[in-house]
Amino acid sequence: MNTFARTAVAGILGLAIMTTAHANASTESRDPHSYAQPDKVRVTALDVDLTVSFDKHVLSGSAVLDLEWLDPAARELVLDTSGLKIERVEDMSGQPKYPPLEFQVDKPDPILGSALRIKMPRQAKRVYIAYSTSPDAAGLQWLDPGQTAGKKHPFVYSQSESIAGRSWIPLQDTPQVRFSYTAHITTPKDLRAVMSANNDAKHPLDGDFRFAMPQKIPSYLLALAIGDIAVKEIGPRSAVYAEPETVTAAAKEFDDIEKMIVTTEKLYGPYRWDRYDILVLPPSFPFGGMENPRLTFATPTIIAGDKSLVSVIAHELAHSWSGNLVTNAAWKHVWLNEGFTTYVQGRIVEAVYGKQQADEEFLVAANELKKEFATAKPAEQLLVPDLTGKDADDSLSDVPYTKGSWFLQYLEGKFGRDTFDAFLRGYFDHFAFQSITTDQFVAYLKANLLDKHPGKLNMDEVNAWLHQPGIPADAPLPSSARFTVQNIERSEFVVGKRSAKDLNAQTWSTQEWQYFLDQLPPKLSAEQINALDNAYHLTGTHNAEIAFRWYRLAIGSGYEAAYPAMREHMLRIGRRILVVPLYGELAKTPKGKDLAEKIYAEAKPGYHPMTRAAVEKALREPGRQR
């Protein structure tokens, strides 16, 4: 059966599975980051009709929710909102006239927003909500023309993960609940709207866009962007969307995407989302990528010109199996999304770009995690953290990504790659289109791997990974001949036995530079850092990953010659991992903090709300920003 036929059949089977998915869904009684009550009533479908106002920085319109009532006695629908202006609510359950429903919006919580409580004289099957967003909605980033690449048109995009979807749509904003959706978006003419749904590359720019997502998704995967967006096809089921000034370079950088999809299908089963398109956003986007189904959102900072940073795309594609298909039921279980995805990312990179690159990328990440654990509290090192009273975004550290994927590498080593691949494929099929907990994964692991291969692994070893701080002593770690040589050269350079120019670094890969800069002492002598910059021109580099590490070293070494270029980096880029630690490092000294505050005052209007919050925390708590 050819690829498209397999995908079509998988989609039909997936839709059949989804209709009963909640019956087998997680045993998590209530998501602490949501007011919703999915044990009583669940949203099964969403239809939104929104008009964009760039002048007011507002989306306005309506949301229609299809409901499935699970508790016959329930007479209230509780939804999550944050800053929404609710105008009216109506019962759309089939009457010629839609009767109004009484509602109240609770006092807002600084983390959770406000519960929208809708009284139900009877259990309505459909509910209509007219509303508008706040200009400072946490899930929307509004950009003036000057903040875009083209400088001609405004731009807006959403970022719903973890719990910011409630700031632009009233819904059950919990990964426990999955729903299909349709949308009608009205825009100014000449601009394009795209969503995590079926996008038409040939759609006229007439201001009238309609979308459908038939597969059921959790709320954090709702996504919308509107702006001056061009399109280039890069494969039989993929296209790149980006500003016209960026689209050609992006298409060239990401033209291996079909190889990545085919590789992952061979390992873990068919791609079940029909198309895999990529939207390259303006540089203010706070993440490397966001796995919105059918339309990954990506930062332009991964366009290095040599495909050395496309593992971010491999990561977001991998989410099509781990995260989008099998989803964490609450944010304390986010390692089920990110740890599995980082593991699959490594397998994709290995298959498409070679084992050396995959191993070196993991070594860079593992060393970063070791550094983090050197100062992190034990509670911050757990794969399943206690998030009581904390923001859901606090779960998104290096721990679920790197420690989670390291655990899966450990399992692969214990059982062998072929056995573990078969287990993972069965896991994705078994829990397809469901939201699960760590306990459900452990039960599946025990029944389908441990019990079938007795003597290879016990539950104490599993629990050491899941519920104990640190990394177990027998954790596997790949080797790199290039890194081994570099370790010697770097040590000689640090103690003065080797000059900067004798490092022979002109041909180093991005991963080699990352490793080298990460492993240097946080402070070099003025002579050493000057010599490095003179030999390799690191100040002003266009590779954002190398630039971030170089400027972090420059701050620690007091190398103020790099500060003007560092400032430009911090003004231009809103990706949190590449700017927030720089603010934290600067804030460790009074002089540095003064500079950081001046840079932030200039950069703040172009930063996403999530980046702003992280920067402000870094300025308050230097050294605790990651």
Tokens 């000059």 correspond to: 499
Q: Is 461 a catalytic residue?
A: no
H/E stretch holding 367? helix 355-375
Q: Given 401, 427, 515, 600, which residue is catalytic? A: 401
Question: 536: how many CB neighbours lie within 10 A of its CB?
Answer: 18
353 given a catalytic annotation: no
Q: Would you say 367 and 519 are in contact if contact means Cβ atoms under 8 Å apart?
A: yes
Cα 16 from Cα 237, distance rounded (Å): 23
- Please identify which of the residues 253, 265, 291, 316 carries the catalytic annotation: 316
> Cis bond leading into 162, ω under 30°?
yes
Q: Choose among 167, 151, 183, 197: nearest CA to 58.
A: 167
Phi-psi region at 354: left, alpha or beta (left = phi > 0; alpha = psi -120 to 50): left
Closest CA to 238 of 223, 256, 265: 256
Rounded CA-CA distance 358/348 in Å is 8
- Which residues are paired to 142 by β-bridges? 156
CA 614/CA 603 separation, integer angstroms: 13
- The encoded tokens of residue 619 equal 């300025």
Q: Using an 8 Å Cβ cutoff, are 281 and 14 in contact?
A: no
| 277-280/238-242 β-pairing | parallel
SS3 305: coil
Distance of CA 245 to the CA centre of its chain: 24
d(CA 167, CA 196): 17
Residues annotated as part of the active site: 316, 401
